[in-house]
């Protein structure tokens, strides 16, 4: 497959719809900004658990939908998922992509909390 990350980004799959434990996914999300080798290690370790937990169904369904839509490389990705499952590079790429989404959501949530805290003092006491 030429561009696995680009292919996975085209899938209709997100953290909320994937049906997986976000706490488990966080083990892959934590090292994203620091250590690529650690991300790959965590993805190899966590993908089989997430796959069994429900990612298999949602990931295969998303890749099948990509096949039906004519997305390049979707047929090859589907064959790999069906033959190797959680041990495939496609499955690991999906987990890393979902982990990046989870990390982005967490950063956005933290920024929102910071802004809210700064403005809390401006609210009348009866609103707190």
pLDDT tens profile 45-81: 999 999 999 999 999 999 999 999 999 999 999 999 9
Q: Looking at residues 121-128, what average pLDDT do you find?
A: 65
**Which pLDDT does position 103 carry in this prediction?**
92
DSSP state of 29: H
Q: Looking at residues 75-100, what average pLDDT do you find?
A: 95
* The model's pTM: 0.86
DSSP state of 3: -
More confident residue, 128 or 82: 82
Provide the Cα torsion 13, 19, 21, 27; round to 10°.
Answer: -20
What is d(CA 44, CA 28) in angstroms, rounded to the nearest whole number?
9
List the chain domain ranges: 4-127
């Amino acid at each position: 497959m030429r561009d696995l990350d680009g292919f996975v980004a085209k899938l209709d799959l997100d953290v909320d719809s994937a049906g997986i434990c976000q706490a488990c996914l966080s083990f892959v999300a934590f090292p994203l900004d620091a250590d690529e080798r650690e991300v790959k290690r965590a993805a190899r370790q966590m993908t089989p658990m997430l796959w069994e937990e429900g990612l298999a169904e949602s990931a295969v369904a998303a890749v099948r939908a990509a096949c039906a839509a004519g997305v390049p490389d979707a047929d090859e990705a589907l064959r790999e998922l069906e033959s190797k499952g959680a041990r495939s590079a496609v499955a690991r790429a999906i987990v890393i992509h979902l982990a990046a989404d989870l990390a982005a959501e967490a950063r956005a949530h933290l920024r929102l909390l910071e802004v809210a805290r700064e403005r809390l003092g401006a609210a009348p006491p009866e609103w707190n």
